A and B are shown apart, each in its own frame.
Chain A
Amino acid sequence: MKRRAFINLFLGGSLLGTVISFLYPVIRYLIPPRQSEAAAKTIVAAKVGELAPNSARLFRFGSSAAILIHTSDGELRAFSATCTHLTCTVNYEGDTGTLFCPCHNGRFDLAGNVLSGPPPKPLEAYEVELSGGDIYVSRKT
């Protein structure tokens, strides 16, 4: 009898341990992660007022770099920041009001079009929306 009781205890205990070691990951899984959703489609690039006029900020969008520009006219525009020539990251040049790639002097206007230099294609433009103090950038559909 004692043997049977021991086996039952052993069985019950190891079953409990196994169940816990399986329930633990499942429960952790169910708890919402810090980043609320998968990146990709829309992202909050900045908060309203964070960017001064005639300045820009680089941010990550999906798996590549993007740039949010607050033009001197007060408009907000966003583009892919990957130069279409050899994939260097473009910067915003305040005095010329253009996007400039330092690698081979490629230059884009604030519609993404190529003004001069070697880039073969314009920069991809993104949609910018304001909602509740946040600046949302998303891919054009």
Chain B
Amino acid sequence: MPLKSSWRGAIRCGRLGLAALVIMSAPLSLSAQKNSCVDCHLGMDDALKAPAEGFNADVHKQFGLSCQDCHGGNPAQDDVELAKDRSFKGSPERAKIPEFCGSCHSNSEYMRRFNPNLRVDQLVLYWTSQHGQLLKKGDTSGAVCTDCHGVHGIQPASFPKSQVFPWNIPQTCGRCHSSADTMKAYGISIKQVDDYKQSVHARALFEKKDLSAPVCNDCHGNHGAAPPEISSIAFVCRQCHPSAGDLFSKSPHKEAFDSLGISECEACHGNHRISPPSDELLAGGKQDVCVQCHEAGTEAHRTGLQIRKQIDDFVSSSEAAKSLLAAAERKGVEVSEAQFKLQDAKTALVLARNLTHGLSLPEIEANLGAGGKVLAEVKVRGEAALSEAKFRRSGLIIATAFIILLAAALYLKIRDLKGSAKHEG
């Protein structure tokens, strides 16, 4: 969205002013000269001290920028009236913050000097977001730059301490989105962060430290944050789950969902509280998702039941093979090769469960058939291991029997010798 001409003018002025300030302050920052803003503010209390303290860790400081680069003023002047000269802007109103930050961050020529790879479209995206839309209407409760990024002490998003580092994002969004007071006016639920925290994605992110796991911005967008539309939810999920998506698109569900205006993945898996999928989601399961549309007893549901049966049967054969190997192992027989083979069966099961998105019973049967062959092989090895265990025990019994006989023979011999010694002695 093109900026209004007045904003462009302001930016131009700002640009010049900032350029001048940068040139003027360059010798200041290079030689680490006095900064009266920081000196004065450090001597103050609480809210006025915080900016000076926090700025030490700020990413802008690392690029040689300081108070005057955003707020204007003259840091060489000790006297507060002289310091707050004509260029002094003070802290911007909340509603003006996006342009305040955007005055640099949307300026490609300016940003190029510091980090040529940094994007400069954040402000443009922001105006398309729900937060930006609210601000345009004059509602300042929507999030602005500082709400998510912090203000004095801003870290790059790739630093773990940053408020917008992946595992900090739910908390950052949650500050408003989990607050009943804030969300009351908009009628938006406040359960999203809590729901998300129970999801498989949260577990991957927080427990396994998998930074590729999605957080709020991966599905809702960053600066252009808005809830994905029904028609786009599927694409959002397909970013990471393309195979399930492809199977779904080839299945009869795609057309049906599209014509009914139902969002694809979300209908069965939910949106924030996406649990690790279990077989209970299949037809006939405790969390049967099929009955949302298909009544029990219909052909479609029956197919679903057949699919489920295939998978259930495979799971129980798999468990049987696993316990067979465990029994052999308990008896002391080495079964690592067979256990490795069992991994192939596990892979077949994972693939079969994915295939349920395609709804094709024949394909699932074929896949599980291959897996079944693996299980048969494992079963053979498991039974061989159990008979080996039996062989060992019978071997032990035979050897022990001979030893006992030998011991008995020795005992008799000793007694005999003792007896003859008595006779001779």
- For chain A, the count of residues having a C-beta within 8 Å of the partner chain is 28
Assess whether B159 is interfacial by the CB under 8 Å rule: no
Assess whether A48 is interfacial by the CB under 8 Å rule: no
Contact partner, A17, options B211, B343, B351, B405, Cβ 8 Å: B405
Cα A36 to Cα B202 in complex, Å, equals 48
CB distance from B373 to the nearest CB of A (A): 15
Taking a contact as CB atoms under 8 Å apart, the answer to whether B409 and A11 are in contact is yes
| A residues less than 8 Å from B242 (CB atoms) | 105
Assess whether B350 is interfacial by the CB under 8 Å rule: yes
Contact partner, A103, options B211, B350, B395, B406, Cβ 8 Å: B350
Per-position contact with B for A1-21: 1 when CB-CB < 8 Å, else 0?
001100110110111011001
The chain A residue sitting closest to B354, CB to CB, is A102
| A residues less than 8 Å from B402 (CB atoms) | 14, 17-18, 21
CB distance from B166 to the nearest CB of A (A): 12
The chain B residue sitting closest to A105, CB to CB, is B242
- Given A18-B399, A118-B210, do A102 and B243 touch, yes or no (CB 8 Å)? yes
Contact partner, A60, options B212, B340, B350, B395, Cβ 8 Å: B340
In chain A, residues 58-108, which have Cβ atoms closer than 8 Å to a Cβ of chain B? 60, 63, 65, 85-86, 88-89, 102-105
Interface size class of B (residues with CB under 8 A): 20 to 34
Dominant secondary structure of chain B at its interface with chain A: helix
| B residues less than 8 Å from A4 (CB atoms) | 416
Contact partner, B347, options A3, A89, A105, Cβ 8 Å: A89
Taking a contact as CB atoms under 8 Å apart, the answer to whether B412 and A118 are in contact is no
Taking a contact as CB atoms under 8 Å apart, the answer to whether A85 and B212 are in contact is yes
Assess whether B336 is interfacial by the CB under 8 Å rule: yes
| B residues less than 8 Å from A7 (CB atoms) | 409, 412-413, 416
Q: List 9 A-B contacts (CB under 8 A).
A: A7-B409, A14-B405, A17-B406, A21-B395, A63-B336, A63-B340, A89-B347, A102-B351, A118-B240
User: Hey, which bits of chain A sit against chain B, CB under 8 A?
Assistant: 3-4, 7-8, 10-11, 13-15, 17-18, 21-22, 25, 60, 63, 65, 85-86, 88-89, 102-105, 117-118, 120
Q: Which 5 A-B pairs have the closest CB atoms?
A: A118-B212, A14-B405, A14-B406, A17-B402, A11-B409
